[in-house]
Copies of this chain bind each other. A is one copy, B any other.
Amino acid sequence: MTDAPRYTPLAAALPASVPFVGPETQERSLGRPFTARLGANESLFGPSPQAITAMERAAREVWMYGDPENHDLRQALAAHHGVRPDNIVVGEGIDGLLGYLVRLLIGPGDPVVTSDGAYPTFNFHVTGFGGALHKVPYAGDLESPDALLARAAEVQAKLVYLANPDNPMGSHHPATTLAAMIDRLPQGTLLVLDEAYIDLAPEGTAVQIDADDPRVIRFRTFSKGYGMAGLRVGYAIAAPGLISAFNKVRNHFGMGRIAQAGALAALQDQAWLAQVRARVAEARASLAAIATANGLRPLPSATNFLTVDCGGDGAFARAVLTGLVARGIFVRMPFVAPHDRCIRVSCGDAAACAAFAAALPEALAAARG
């Protein structure tokens, strides 16, 4: 049709894809709400009560735009991390910030390296800007720094992505491994270090990085440990030059006032985060016990979810997942073999664990039958 919009060649060639189907879509299709929402690695323990109060207060002031500089939040984050505010950019979740980063560096054909089965939203952005994705296999259930570095050197990657801890496997590398990886980065390759789950990881997982080091940008979020996935606040720590480059492309007024207030209050309540860590550890143990009791193998987890090896192939795990979903338990699973032998279950409270425990044997029986 001649009147249709004239898309760019790149946009015309892109699929109208969705990185993840939301649980609400599944609920509408099922015709009823889930009993337990354990598929998106949200924090069922919720945000700090102080953050809730701050958000409620901000709701009454929401007629005002948020501060486009995110000044107060960046100051607080800088103090928290012992860096300077010009080392920090705040944005609409890690997803939004990854999009800006990819836009800044990646044009048609530019090489990017990631692990096959790692975060699909990063891939969505790379593909969306025409980048050439090169995928290396995991080493077992761990992302492989060696494989990532080798491929990055081979293709002269502009970006190499690694999540530590990893999603969807829940595995992690110690800080020392990351430090060694950074020292071996090829010239001109920027490490995209996604630390979304770092707040739930064991001590010694977060690598010490000079915030002015131009070889790395690290991403953090209020979605996981802080329990505010629906608030959409992430941030990145990097050298000032790269941080400043975000101002070339970001949606300057994109951070809402409630989001800014909620994140700031959450950051100031580290005691809440500490008790969430404890409750997550407890829930991980409960979920692992449930899996084991059903003959399944829980993988070690440094996150707020447990990845469970169902002991069969992808089709079997898919059948278990389908059985759980049909029984009102929202879970997800890795996309790629051999990890798709697993399902991925978010940590929840006692009621959520009990719902999972009740549904799992039935789902397994259905999958086996």
Name A residues whose Cβ lies closer than 8 Å to a Cβ of B.
1-11, 14-22, 24-25, 28, 37, 40, 42-47, 52, 55-56, 58-69, 71, 92-93, 95-96, 99, 103-107, 110, 121, 128, 158, 187-188, 190, 214-215, 223, 227-232, 241-242, 244-245, 247-249, 251-259, 262
Contact = CB atoms under 8 A, between A and B. Distances in A.
Contacts of A249: 11, 14, 128
Contacts of A67: 22, 24-25
Contacts of A9: 107
B229 A11 contact: no
A252 B20 contact: yes
Centre residue among A64, A92, A105, A227 by max chain B CB count within 10 A: A64
A254 B28 contact: no
A247 B21 CA distance: 12
Contact of A6 (B2, B5, B158): B158
Contact of A244 (B16, B42, B43, B257): B16
A262 B59 contact: yes
Centre residue among A5, A17, A231 by max chain B CB count within 10 A: A5
Given A8-B103, A61-B230, A62-B230, 16 more contacts: A4-B214, A6-B190, A8-B105, A9-B107, A11-B103, A19-B252, A21-B68, A24-B67, A28-B71, A37-B64, A42-B64, A59-B59, A62-B262, A65-B223, A66-B230, A128-B249
B20 A43 contact: no
Contacts of A258: 55, 59, 230-231, 256, 258
A282 to B, nearest CB: 17
Contacts of A17: 247-248
B71 A248 contact: no
Contacts of A214: 1, 3-5
A247 B13 CA distance: 13
A344 to B, nearest CB: 15
Q: Is the interface of A mostly helix, strand, loop or mixed?
A: loop
A5 B230 contact: no
A249 B96 CA distance: 11
Contact of A59 (B22, B55, B107, B190): B55
A3 B187 contact: yes
In the A-B complex, the 4 residue pairs with the closest CB atoms: A230-B257, A55-B59, A24-B67, A16-B247
A263 to B, nearest CB: 11
Given A7-B105, A128-B248, A230 B64 contact: yes
Nearest to A97: B251
Nearest to A258: B258
Nearest to A106: B8
20 contacts: A5-B158, A5-B214, A5-B241, A5-B242, A5-B245, A6-B190, A8-B107, A10-B107, A16-B245, A16-B248, A18-B247, A20-B252, A52-B62, A55-B62, A59-B59, A63-B230, A65-B223, A93-B254, A232-B254, A256-B258
B188 A2 contact: yes
B58 A5 contact: no
